[in-house]
Structure 1
């Protein structure tokens, strides 16, 4: 039986009892059928991973005591995903998979063809937390407030930004990924259903930190492009080839 793994927004210290949330109490007791004395794994994004034990578990209350650190904290990932606002299910899926692929920041953006101007960032944050608990990473990616694409670009810090160009007028993403400097953070931007408008692509190409790239001969759904691009970037310019 696998050991439950929880993210707690609390300092983790040996012997210092910490509370879990009501939702985590329900998960441990009602879903995982755990009881006081059972083992859990804990992380908070800054103190590494800890082995602990349940001290108190009721319907909506739980407390856990960290016993020993089993993994030191590693640096928070600096790579980012910028994703145009699309339908909720697709947004949820992208947030989950970006977390599994080691992204540090998820930035929803509004484009001219975005079909919605509302993004539930609290929901995306919860999905990212659950994905982080399941995949074994020691941090939860931050979900930024949704903003217009041009506003995000105007405030950009110079980090290399690679953009999926569905018109296939750009070099392959693998070529651009191999040209990135080792250890330098990057960001990946995917457009909405229907793609970017020509004026948006022209604006992107004028910016020195942007490289437009192609993901191949087929037109991909937004969520497919997000996942495919992140997988290529992590394999060639991220932590996907680390041992």
Structure 2
């Protein structure tokens, strides 16, 4: 069942079920009252990443607070997509874009990776999670991706599930066509690794190519920015061996 885009959707941490009532958070109350200007009885959609999507009504309001009453479930909770998306953090605005697009395109886990050429060594996990929630609200997504703490490149590979195929974007590939390499992948459990703006170092690329659970793919004949490469890689991967 597709999302109802005619109604406002909000992510809430609270449990959802028939006739449950709870107070909306401060920011959400402000949004409902002063941005959307909704009155008592107005209906919205709620989701929490666990209980599916529910219609809800504004049961009461004051100048600063809104009480919500859950009405009926509109969509059941789907499973989280089984795609681990690993990326080198970029500068703030472009990182926001990268995270939002990853959510839209079916990532189930977002894993920041610190490589030799990574621009941002300590990304704000709270900001990443806020972007994940915003993207889910806007795109009708119910299974909210998990955001993990940043891992160093070597540690990520050492701890990697060897039964999960890891695809990485290799700017030094000898071909421009990613399809043959992807079509040879037989595993259903998948991961994608996208490097930083400066690309992977020679040492990192050598290590990746030596691992049996890693597949290298090119992304065409043009040099792409890291955030563009991330979207392109997700698109070609989802189309070829993913859930598209």
Which TM bucket (shorter chain)? over 0.9
Question: 1:171, CA displacement in angstroms?
Answer: 6.9
**Which is further off, 126-135 or 167-176?**
167-176
User: How do residues 41-52 of structure 1 correspond to structure 2 at under 5 angstroms?
Assistant: 41-52=45-56
1:173–1:229 CA contact under 8 A, matched in 2 = no
Question: 1:236, CA displacement in angstroms?
Answer: 2.0
1:105–1:144 CA contact under 8 A, matched in 2 = yes
| Cα 1:232/1:129, change in 2 over 3 Å | same
Instruction: Give 1:175's match in structure 2, choosing from 180, 186, 203.
Output: 180
Instruction: Give 2:33's match in structure 1, choosing from 23, 29, 34.
Output: 29
| Cα 1:5/1:170, change in 2 over 3 Å | same
Instruction: For structure 2, list consecutive stretches of 5 or more residues without a partner in the other structure.
Output: none
* 1:199 equivalent in structure 2: 203
**Counterparts of 1:95 and 1:104 in 2: how far apart (Å)?**
12
* 1:97 equivalent in structure 2: 101
**Which is further off, 214-223 or 60-69?**
60-69
1:168–1:216 CA contact under 8 A, matched in 2 = no
2:173–2:216 CA contact under 8 A, matched in 1 = no
The number of residues matched between the two structures is 239
* 1:108 equivalent in structure 2: 112
- State yes or no: 1:133 paired with 2:137: yes
TM-score normalised over the length of structure 1: 0.93
* 1:86 equivalent in structure 2: 90
| Cα 1:187/1:37, change in 2 over 3 Å | same
1:168–1:217 CA contact under 8 A, matched in 2 = no
Equivalent position SS for 1:68:
strand
1:8–1:44 CA contact under 8 A, matched in 2 = yes
- State yes or no: 1:4 paired with 2:8: yes
What is the Cα-based RMSD across aligned positions, in Å?
A: 1.7
TM-score normalised over the length of structure 2: 0.92
* 1:63 equivalent in structure 2: 67
